[in-house]
Structures are given as C-alpha cells and as structure tokens.
C-alpha cells in the first residue's frame, strides 16, 4: 500500500489543475471598453436622416446599436473610428446584420441629412447618419457625455473644426447602454466584444 | 490507525475548504461601485467667470451637488456635507487621485459668477478644490441637472426653488458611480467617503490580472453598501 500514500496528493493536484482550466475556459469575457450595468434604457433620441425621414434609437430594439458622435468635415478622428467599425463589422460576417451604426452630427449647422447619408455610405451601406436642431443635438450629446465645441483651428480650405469627445457607445438589444469604447480601440478588439455581445 | 484512501481524500478536501474559508475571510471579496450611467457633458461658467467643462474634469473624481445661493437654511446642509467630505478626505485613501467638488446652481439669473464668487468666499472655498458654476442656457441646464444627473428642481412662483437635495459621485472616466438622494441613519458624508475609498481601491488595484477580479465583481454585482 506504499504507493497509495502519494495518491491523495496526486488526486488533489489533478483537481486543482482541472479547476484552473475550468476557470480559464469559463472566465468572464473581458471587454475592451468600459462595461455598464445601467438600470434604465439609454436616453432616446430622434434624428433627421436623408429623404425627409426620421429615426429614433428605440426603432432599433433587437439590434446592437453603435452610437458615434462626429461630423462630416472631421479630418482624422471620425474617419479613423468609422473605419475601425467598418472593419469590425466585416469580421463579424453575417452577424453584422444585427448591428446598427448611427452617427450623430455635432455640427448641425453644416451637416444636412443628405450630406451625412453621403458621408456614412463611404464606410458601410447600412450606416445611418443623422442630425437635428442645434438645441436638440446639444441635449442628446450632453446625455451621452459628449462635449463638443467649435475649435479655434481651421483646415487649409478655411473650414472650421470641431473638438468633440470621441467615444463609441454600444447599446444592447434591449436599449441599455452596454459598453463605452475609448478612441483608439482596434477593429479586432471591437469585433471581439461585439461577437461576445451577439452570442 | 490506518485511514482508507477515500477517507484521506475526504479529509484533504475538508482541510482545503477550511483554509479557503479563512483566506476568503482574511482577503475579503472585492467590492465595487456600480457603473450607473454616463455623466452628462456640460460647459459652465465658474465663480471666476472662467469656463469649466466635463472634459476639464476628466481624470478626476468629482462630487457634484445642485443648489442656489438664495436658498434658505436647509441648503446649508449641502455645503456642510461638501466641507465634511473634504475635511475627512484622508479616510478615502485617494492617494494621488485628484478630487474636486462641484456645486452647480440652477438659478443662473441670480447666481452670476460674482455672486457665486462671494458665496464661495463665504465658505472659504478654493477654486482648485471646490467649483461653483452655472450656465445662462436654462433649457440645457435643465437637461444637464434634471435629466443627466437626475436631480429634480422646479422654480416656484415666489422665485424660490423646490428641489431634491442630491449628491452625485463621478469617476475619472465620466461615469456616475454614486447617487445620494435620501437621508439614512448613516450620514451622507460617511457614505460618500466610504464609496470614495471603494472607488480609490479599484483605481489603484484593478490592473493586470486583478482587473479580471474587479470586472467579475462588477459582473456579479458585488456592490458596496
């Protein structure tokens, strides 16, 4: 019976390794943005989109909605972020149908619904771009924590620039704010989080 | 006396359980503050007539309250709580994390920067640690305070205001982490300070593999009382 002395130790070791492996494989998904446990739906909003139509956030229950605040004159930050989103949707394949991207203009003075539609089409055919009155935009942006202002800088064409908070927000199928992604998220990271949320 | 193999395995596990229970008790499970919702964005004018925005406050933990300087006696409690929290800030172990108090007035017609300045001076408030601010855009102000911070206020016919005394705790990422609207047996300052220390622990410790444990605490709603 000499061999049996070490058997309990061996059994304990195997159990510990199995527990470790189990934890590794079922560990909670680590999001690449900040996760929220909101107790209420994200603030609803109405946007004027191309062809005289309007859309509301609440029209998209059942889909993951990615909300982004930007403007069509935006030289670098907005195209970069929308490009990352486009790539992430490609990585999702057919599942991308369950994601709706909405860009809200922080430049209601220059961005018309038609201009926004034309702009977002360059990134993805399903993207929606919308605007509203300056007062409504100020209110929507505030409730999504988005600060924006006309910056002192202009482009070489003399167009003014707008500084704005560049976060990307994911609203879940039930309309609750789920994740806030910082500027600089990669398409792989975004696709990873979207796949998990869409599972 | 010889134990059977099964018995030894059983005792082994029993011992492991007891050790884990002690370890759990000693280490204490991680507590976190919920990420309630996004703090609203704003651009206000402070007691020095300078602009203060939510982006200026990014990276700082901010304690907000909402009032008006013509408020009769009860509002003094709000100021007292703000002072109490700051005086006892050591209890929160914030370390190098910057902390700012912001009192937002919902009476911009009377609370001009100079009025706010003399009010702040009356409380010996230093702009670096206690901001008093408001904006003339009353519609937007209502959205910011009433909808964004969910702090109710309403102007009455006699020019005074009906409002719910509210404190809101916002982290450095612009996320609302604590809302204090009702009096309990525990003083509001005590609760705010305890929550500040929970928040400071998360900021200090939630890095590397420990981040996983903190995210799990969020997932399993291990919220501080």
Q: For residue B36, give the nearest of B138, B173, B175, B194 by alpha carbon.
A: B175
CA–CA distance, A54 with A2 (Å, rounded to integer)? 80
**Touching check for B136 and chain A: CB below 8 Å?**
no
At residue B184 the predicted structure's pLDDT band, cuts being 50, 70 and 90, is: low
For residue B209, the chain A residue with the least C-alpha distance is: A30
What angle in degrees, to the nearest 10, is found between the helix axes of B76-87 and B188-205? Answer: 40
Whether residue A30 and residue B53 make contact (CB cut-off 8 A), yes or no, is no
Whether B17 maps to a domain, the answer reads no
> Rounded mean pLDDT of A180-187?
96
Whether A3 maps to a domain, the answer reads no
Whether B13 maps to a domain, the answer reads no
Give chain A's mean pLDDT. Answer: 93
CA–CA distance, A177 with A172 (Å, rounded to integer)? 6
CA–CA distance, B63 with B75 (Å, rounded to integer)? 16
Whether A47 maps to a domain, the answer reads yes
Cβ-Cβ contacts under 8 Å, A12 against chain B: 9, 12-13, 16
Cβ-Cβ contacts under 8 Å, A180 against chain B: 38, 173, 175
Contact between A31 and A197 under an 8 Å Cβ cutoff? The reply is: no
- Residue B1 above 60 pLDDT? no
Note the pLDDT tens digit of each residue in B3-19.
677 888 888 888 888 87
CA–CA distance, B30 with B24 (Å, rounded to integer)? 10
CA–CA distance, A121 with A126 (Å, rounded to integer)? 7
Residue A54 pairs with which residues in a beta bridge? A48
CATH number at residue B204: 3.40.30.10
CA–CA distance, B161 with B153 (Å, rounded to integer)? 7
Cβ-Cβ contacts under 8 Å, B143 against chain A: 138-139, 142-143
* Burial group, residue B179, by CB count within 10 angstroms (0-12, 13-18, 19+): middle
- Enclosing domain of residue A173: 34-198
Whether B74 maps to a domain, the answer reads yes
Whether A130 maps to a domain, the answer reads yes
Whether A189 maps to a domain, the answer reads yes
Whether residue A36 and residue B37 make contact (CB cut-off 8 A), yes or no, is yes
Residue B101 is classified by DSSP as: E
- Angle value at C-alpha A90, between A85 and A94, nearest 5 degrees: 120
At residue A156 the predicted structure's pLDDT band, cuts being 50, 70 and 90, is: confident
Whether A13 maps to a domain, the answer reads no
- Predicted pLDDT at B223: 86
Closest-CA distance of chain B to residue A187, Å: 22
Going through chain B in order, the beta strands assigned E by DSSP cover 37-38, 43-46, 51-53, 61-67, 99-105, 130-134, 153-155, 161-163, 167-170, 175-180
- Predicted pLDDT at B58: 96
Which of B9, B12, B148 lies closest to A142 in CB terms?
Answer: B148
- Enclosing domain of residue B136: 37-219
CA–CA distance, A156 with A159 (Å, rounded to integer)? 7
Contact between A180 and A34 under an 8 Å Cβ cutoff? The reply is: yes
Whether B61 maps to a domain, the answer reads yes
Q: How many residues does chain B have?
A: 225
Give B 170-189 residues with CB within 8 A of chain A. 173-175
Whether residue A38 and residue B36 make contact (CB cut-off 8 A), yes or no, is yes
Domain count, chain B: 1
Note the pLDDT tens digit of each residue in A71-112.
999 989 999 999 999 999 999 999 999 999 999 999 999 999
Gyration radius from chain A CA atoms: 22
Q: For residue B31, give the nearest of B156, B212, B167, B199 by alpha carbon.
A: B199
Pair of tokens at residue A146: 């988005």
Which of B137, B212, B221 lies closest to A37 in CB terms?
Answer: B221
- Predicted pLDDT at B72: 82
Beta strand B99-105 pairing with B130-134: parallel
Whole-Å CA distances, A130 to A13, A55, A71, A142:
59, 8, 10, 16
Closest-CA distance of chain B to residue A31, Å: 9
Whether A1 maps to a domain, the answer reads no
**Touching check for A143 and chain B: CB below 8 Å?**
yes
Whether A10 maps to a domain, the answer reads no
Note the pLDDT tens digit of each residue in B33-89.
999 999 999 999 999 999 999 999 999 999 999 999 998 877 888 999 999 999 999
**Touching check for B12 and chain A: CB below 8 Å?**
yes
Whether residue B42 and residue A30 make contact (CB cut-off 8 A), yes or no, is no
CATH number at residue A55: 3.40.30.10
Domain count, chain A: 1
CA–CA distance, B175 with B54 (Å, rounded to integer)? 11
Residue B101 pairs with which residues in a beta bridge? B63, B130
Cβ-Cβ contacts under 8 Å, A7 against chain B: 5
Whether A129 maps to a domain, the answer reads yes
Beta strand A64-70 pairing with A99-105: parallel
Kindly tell me the sign of the dihedral angle through the C-alpha atoms of B186, B191, B197, B201: positive
The count of C-alpha atoms lying within 13 angstroms of the C-alpha of B78, restricted to the half-sphere facing its C-beta, is: 28
Give chain B's mean pLDDT. Answer: 91
Q: Which residues contact B72 (CB under 8 A, 6 or more apart)?
A: B160
Cβ-Cβ contacts under 8 Å, A147 against chain B: 41-43, 53-55
Name the helix (H) or strand (E) containing B210: helix B209-219
Q: Which of helix, strand or coil describes residue B214?
A: helix
């Amino acid at each position: 019976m000499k061999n049996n002395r070490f058997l309990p130790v061996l059994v304990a070791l195997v159990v510990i390794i199995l527990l470790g492996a189990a934890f590794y494989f079922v560990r909670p998904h680590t999001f690449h943005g900040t996760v929220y446990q909101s107790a209420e739906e994200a603030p609803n909003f109405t946007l004027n989109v191309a062809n005289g139509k309007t859309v509301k956030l609440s029209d998209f229950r059942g889909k993951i909605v990615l909300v982004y605040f930007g403007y069509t004159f935006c030289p670098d930050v907005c195209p970069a972020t929308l490009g990352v989103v486009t790539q992430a949707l490609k990585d999702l394949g057919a599942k991308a149908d369950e994601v709706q991207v909405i860009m809200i203009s922080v430049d209601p003075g220059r961005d018309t619904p038609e201009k926004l539609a034309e702009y977002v089409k360059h990134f993805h055919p399903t993207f929606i771009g919308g605007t509203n009155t300056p007062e409504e935009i100020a209110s929507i942006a505030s409730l999504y924590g988005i600060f924006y202002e006309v910056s002192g800088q202009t482009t070489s064409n003399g167009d003014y620039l707008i500084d704005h908070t560049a976060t990307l927000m994911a609203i879940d199928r039930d309309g609750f704010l789920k994740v806030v992604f910082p500027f600089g998220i990669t398409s792989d990271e975004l696709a990873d989080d979207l796949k998990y949320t869409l599972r | 006396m010889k134990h059977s193999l099964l018995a030894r395995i059983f005792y082994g596990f029993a011992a492991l359980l007891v050790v884990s229970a002690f370890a759990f008790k000693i280490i204490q499970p991680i507590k976190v503050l919920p990420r309630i919702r996004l703090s609203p964005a704003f651009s206000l004018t402070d007691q020095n007539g300078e602009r203060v925005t939510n982006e200026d406050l990014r990276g700082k933990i901010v304690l907000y309250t909402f009032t008006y300087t013509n408020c009769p006696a009860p509002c003094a409690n709000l100021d007292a709580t703000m002072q109490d929290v700051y005086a006892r800030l050591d209890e929160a172990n914030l370390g190098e994390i910057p902390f700012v108090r912001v009192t937002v007035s919902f009476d911009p017609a009377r609370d001009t920067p100079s009025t706010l300045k003399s009010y702040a001076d009356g409380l010996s408030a230093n702009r670096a640690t206690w901001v008093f601010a408001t904006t003339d855009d009353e519609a937007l102000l209502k959205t910011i305070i009433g909808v964004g911070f969910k702090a109710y206020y309403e102007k009455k016919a006699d020019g005074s205001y009906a409002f719910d005394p509210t404190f809101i705790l916002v982290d450095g990422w612009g996320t609302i982490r604590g809302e204090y609207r009702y009096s309990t047996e525990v003083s509001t300052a005590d609760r705010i300070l305890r929550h500040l220390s929970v928040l400071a622990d998360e900021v200090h410790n939630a890095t590397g593999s420990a981040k996983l444990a903190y995210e799990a605490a969020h997932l399993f709603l291990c919220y501080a009382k």
